[in-house]
Amino acid sequence: MNAQQLVELAMQKSGKTSQHQMAAALGVSHVAVGKWMRGENCPTFEQAAELAVLAGLPPVRTAAEVRQHSIDGRKHSALLKKMAALAAGVVLAASVIPSHAAPVSLGHKPGTSVYYVKL
């Protein structure tokens, strides 16, 4: 879902009939809402989460999806893909070390949480 779709759904579900009403509900200018609807800009994560609540959608997941479709999101997505490739290279390099070599630590401490990013 992109920002335009989210704003339109939030307006429909919340009964807001204008960009001015939506802007007042979010505490932003009507110009900002107009830019979101034209695809010229994207709401912040927090603003997208508020829109998701108004639209009756899960806020975190929806906000993440909207931000991913933004220009900044595409920039960050490329960076995350590069980091994932680098991490895969490190794991591959560690797997070819002979078994009699000294153990290699990748910085993970037992008992800590591991987070994965879906690209």
pLDDT at residue 46 in the model: 92
Determine, yes or no, domain membership for 114.
Answer: no
Helical residues (DSSP H) of 15-110, grouped into ranges: 19-26, 30-38, 45-55, 59-68, 71-95
Q: Output the domain CATH number for residue 34.
A: 1.10.260
Determine, yes or no, domain membership for 90.
Answer: no
Average model confidence (pLDDT) across the chain: 76
Domain span at 50? 3-69
**Six-digit token pair at 112?**
């800590």
Residue-wise pLDDT tens digits, 49-104: 999 999 999 988 888 888 887 776 666 666 544 555 565 566 556 555 555 555 54
pLDDT at residue 114 greater than cutoff 60: no
Determine, yes or no, domain membership for 55.
Answer: yes
Q: pTM value? A: 0.61
pLDDT band for position 33 (50/70/90)?
very high
